[in-house]
Amino acid sequence: MKFELVKVKWLDAQTGFAQAMEIPEFLKDFEPVYNYSMGHLLCNDKEKIILGFLIMNDGETNLVKHWQLIPKGMVKEITKLKACSK
């Protein structure tokens, strides 16, 4: 089974633990952070995207060992990638 290679641009949740700051000063210093993940597109439905990073085949079955689930509400862009040619 073939899976598309994609790059996903998505917003990640953030948290922090730091020195106390005045809230107005704190609020002006932080913006959402974009993340980029690339992998084999295993699932793309209305709730989620699942990327596989380590896909194996035992001769009969496709297996996934390393994967990532990104909630669809955090996804900003999906770009199809092309495999390198020799």
Over residues 15-58, the pLDDT tens digits come to: 888 788 888 888 887 788 899 999 999 999 999 999 999 988 88
Rounded Cα gap, residues 50 and 22, in angstroms: 39
Is 48 a domain residue?
Answer: yes
Domain boundaries, position 21: 5-80
Is 55 a domain residue?
Answer: yes
Quick one: average pLDDT of 10-14?
91
Q: What is the Cα Rg of the chain in Å?
A: 18
Encode pLDDT of 49-86 as tens digits: 999 999 888 888 888 999 999 999 999 999 999 877 76
Question: How far apart, in Å, do the first and last CA atoms of the chain sit?
Answer: 22
Is 86 a domain residue?
Answer: no
User: Do β-strands 48-57 and 33-44 pair in parallel, antiparallel, or remain unpaired?
Assistant: antiparallel
Is 85 a domain residue?
Answer: no
Is 39 a domain residue?
Answer: yes
The count of domains in the chain is 1
Is 16 a domain residue?
Answer: yes
Q: Is the pLDDT of residue 6 over 90?
A: yes
Is 19 a domain residue?
Answer: yes
